Chains A and B, each alone.
Chain A
Amino acid sequence: MKSLSRLLAIVKKEVRQLRRDRLTFGMVVGLPIIQILLFGYAINTDVRNLRTAIANEADTHLSREFIADLGQTQVVDIVASVSRPAELEALLREGAISIGVHIPPDFDRRTVDASRAAVHLLVDGSDPTILGVANQLRSMPLGFDTMRAAANDVGNIEVRAYYNPERRTPVNIVPGLMGVILTMTMMLFTAVAIVRERERGNLELLINTPVSSAELMIGKVIPYIVIGLLQLALILVVGRLLFDVPVRGSIVDLYLAAALFIAANLSLGLFISTAVSTQFQAMQMTVFILLPSILLSGFMFPFDGMPRFAQYLGEILPNTHFIRLTRGIMLREAPLGELLPDVIYLAGFTVVAMTAAAMRFTKRLD
């Protein structure tokens, strides 16, 4: 009973301090919104509207039709027409365009001659994504309508996209982004939580009161679990409104997975807080863990495509497992029961980190 009232006293204190700490409070709400807007709009792996210039030396009916087809793909955005290929190179060098399309004078004849290229694509190869797009353009059919039909019969590979048929990046990004945002905020809040009190001198007062280590730890974590779940709701709502990101599976499953993930991050944050001696160190440690959580978790790059060693590192991070859970639940409609290994990992991680934190934190100064 006394223990519960002490726990509540800590919770109340944390909430009071949080309310007065405008910066942190702003981070709770602002960070998810800013991140989701940034990532949602800026990270686009489906490349569109690459600036393109055309040098059409043929200027025939067929070549003009080809240019029109090219424009319709929406992959390129034709911003200029020049007369000579040298001008294309100049534009490319200036950075004015990403792709230059050179159509030689004998274009019509070349389309029926398989040994000679009908079109030259001049590509800014410094960005591999653009180069990849250019390679896709190679498969565009060329030639007269009659021949086009014939070409389509040969080696025609149809790609059917499951779960994200429109191939929109936000659908894939937002579930992963939940993990990144929660990693960042949850870990930072708790990493700073104890070390801040140490820096301000509050800790010496606290550890001289009857409050126990466990009461202090749990009391500090509870408000942030609530905050984490609120952030999750915020991300889901914004994701839905702005990017039409669906939650196909059970929302309860999603919240259960998130609660587990939040607990894992808070425990890790507490552990950091007991291991460092200044807030600055706590932030450095947070960034140290945050970066691989973005790069190696499957958030930015497909997990299976990463080198083996990077995969091993990724497997350690809670975010990797959470991203599998969220993408599974939100996009593939998978029930939590089918994602059990990731659930078990997160639970185990929490227990280990929390135990380590509690063992490191003593109510002493030496």
Chain B
Amino acid sequence: METAGNYAIQARGLTKQFGSLRAVSSLDLDVPRGQIYGFLGPNGSGKSTTIRMLCGLLVPTEGTAEVLGTTVPGDSHSLKAKIGYMTQKFSLFSDMTVLENLQFIAEIYSYPSAERKTRIANLLDRYDLNDQAKQLAGTMSGGQKQRLALACSVLHHPELLLLDEPTSAVDPQSRRDFWANLFRLAEGGTTIMVSTHYMDEAERCHRLAILDRGVKVADGTPQRLQASTGMHVVEVTASDPYAAQAALDGVDAIASVTQLGVRLRVLIPDDVDNPVGLVKRALDAAGVSAEAGASEASLEDVFVAVTMQNPDHVA
């Protein structure tokens, strides 16, 4: 397959309907090989459903995908050996030890028995689980469970790793370590698709797609997404952010106001001239003392801007 040379995943028109709910709607995806591809969206935006369709757990209502040269839906069985999948909920066996879990995964993937021991020892080292080797998986901390889950999902050297919100249950330090591990895997040639609702994680991805209510509202590199929001961003610093927000909410030209502590991020469409002046005039008119200045779009601004433009969006 030609596309398989460049892309690990190519999806066209992927749709999943659960009863009256359209969980994923006409999704097109192109995930280049060897990259970390982020899937950003709030809960219920269709991230898990998409990942499950890509690995054959769910049959799409419409559309197909080419995953590592295999067409989905179709012979997803031959795909299993080539992909690693880390479920959102911890899915290893809580009543078995770390070592037993790894051994089980090695056996179920028919890892060559002569190399099993070495491979498991390497993984215990790499994912810092040596002290827990004899511990029951269910008694470990969130971060340790997550490292075990990652170790198990990469044990058989998959070409493609699908991670469904892998960091939702761990502390910030564990998240940083986890991402360091992902970069190391990507350098080794593994394609990684990771869903998240954390902006800072999305920023680390090589490319990302933003999902909102089952619809892909944007995709590209984080830099390009930030450059092409179609919005000016004005940052307002006010001693009374509530008053400032109230003053700005009524202004027609202002698309959205988001509060971040004492700062407000104000999005104003590109075609409006002098956005900073507009904001200042509105604040002055309301008698609110605040500073306003132009700012670069962050990924959060991108997210707000694109989900606002989604026709399905209910304000």
Which residues of A come within 8 Å of B, CB atoms? 2, 5-6, 8-10, 12-13, 16-17, 20-21, 200-212, 363-366
Closest chain B CB from A196 CB (angstroms): 11
With CB as the reference atom, state the residue of chain B lying closest to A20: B95
Q: How far is the CA of A202 from the CA of B87 in the complex (A)?
A: 9
- Residue in contact with B80 in the complex, picked from A17, A201, A209, CB distance below 8 Å: A209
- Residue in contact with A365 in the complex, picked from B58, B83, B96, B107, CB distance below 8 Å: B58
A364-B96 in contact (CB<8A): no
Interface-side segment among B49-57, B199-207, B260-268: B49-57
Chain A residues near B92 (CB, 8 Å)?
A: 202, 205
Q: Mark B131-153, 1 if CB is under 8 A from A, else 0.
A: 00000100000000000000010
A interface majority secondary structure:
helix
A201-B96 in contact (CB<8A): no
B93-A208 in contact (CB<8A): no
Q: What are 27 A-B pairs at a CB distance below 8 A? A: A5-B107, A6-B107, A9-B104, A9-B107, A10-B108, A17-B93, A17-B96, A20-B96, A20-B136, A21-B95, A201-B89, A202-B91, A203-B91, A204-B57, A204-B89, A205-B87, A205-B91, A207-B57, A208-B57, A209-B80, A209-B105, A209-B108, A209-B109, A211-B108, A363-B56, A365-B57, A366-B59
Q: How far is the CA of A202 from the CA of B90 in the complex (A)?
A: 8
Interface residues of B in 94-122 (CB under 8 A from A): 94-96, 100, 104-105, 107-110
Q: How far is the CA of A209 from the CA of B153 in the complex (A)?
A: 10
How many B residues have CB within 8 A of the partner chain?
29
Residue B85 CB within 8 A of the other chain: yes
Contacts A17-B96, A20-B95: A208 and B59 contacting too (C-beta < 8 A)? Answer: no
Residue B313 CB within 8 A of the other chain: no
Q: How far is the CA of A8 from the CA of B106 in the complex (A)?
A: 12
Chain B residues near A207 (CB, 8 Å)?
A: 57
Contacts A208-B55, A365-B58: A12 and B104 contacting too (C-beta < 8 A)? Answer: yes
A201-B108 in contact (CB<8A): no
Residue B81 CB within 8 A of the other chain: yes
Closest chain A CB from B110 CB (angstroms): 5
Chain A residues near B59 (CB, 8 Å)?
A: 364, 366
Chain A residues near B108 (CB, 8 Å)?
A: 6, 9-10, 206, 209-211
Closest chain A CB from B18 CB (angstroms): 8
Chain A residues near B93 (CB, 8 Å)?
A: 13, 17, 202
Q: Mark B65-88, 1 if CB is under 8 A from A, else 0.
A: 000000000000100110101010
